[in-house]
Amino acid sequence: MVSGLRRDSLSEDFAVYFRDLGKAIGGESRLVPLPRTLEGHFTKAVQVRPEIAAKVRATLSNVIVERLDPPAQFDAVIVTNVFVYFGRAELALALANIQGMLKPGGYLLHNELRPEVEELGRYVGLVPVQARTIQVSAGGARTPLLDAFVIQQRR
């Protein structure tokens, strides 16, 4: 787990969050040597406990043109830094497919604030719950580092 964020640009809150990140699923590990270029950044390697790793399955899927087979009934789908690459048609297809992967009442969490995502989401039954811009870092002398989150819920 490597973050591109520098230690000197973030709040104490983030330092505490990053220190504890991964504790619920494993322990910090020195197994992965990290490049020297990352000195001064938040970096960490976590060795995931075997019983947790055994519960995780991965699969490749193109969210624009594929649905999972057998169909998934997820409680939540998290999509970060992906929708930004999609135009309107791709977004509509991806949202319809994600809606099909969620249980009724399940949540889609993403970080794309484009109004189209809300508009198209409503068409497929993903209603907006919350959306915010968040300041990740003050940025020091540089521009503040901003991100966003959006929560939509399957009807």
Ligand X SMILES: C[S@@+](CC[C@H](N)C(=O)[O-])C[C@H]1O[C@@H](n2cnc3c(N)ncnc32)[C@H](O)[C@@H]1O
Q: Which residues contact 138 (CB under 8 A, 6 or more apart)?
A: 9, 11, 144
**Closest CB to ligand X among residues 21, 64:** 64
3-state DSSP assignment of residue 52: helix
Q: Which residue do the tokens 């624009």 mark?
A: 64
For residues 108 and 126, the answer to whether their CB atoms sit within 8 Å is: yes
Over the window 23 to 62, marking each residue x when it contacts ligand X by CB under 6 A and - when it does not, the resulting string is ---------------------------------------x
Site for ligand X in 58-97 (CB under 6 A): 62-64, 80-82, 85
Residue with smaller CB distance to ligand X, 37 or 62: 62
Nearer to ligand X, 90 or 118 (CB): 90
Q: Which residue has the tokens 């099909």?
A: 100
Would you say 73 or 80 has its CB closer to ligand X? 80
Residue with the closest Cβ to ligand X?
80
CB of 143 to ligand X, least distance (A): 20
H-run or E-run covering 17: helix 12-20
DSSP 101: H
Within 99-138, which residues bind ligand X (CB under 6 A)? none
DSSP 35: P
Task: Provide the binding-site residues for ligand X, judged by CB under 6 A.
Answer: 62-64, 80-82, 85
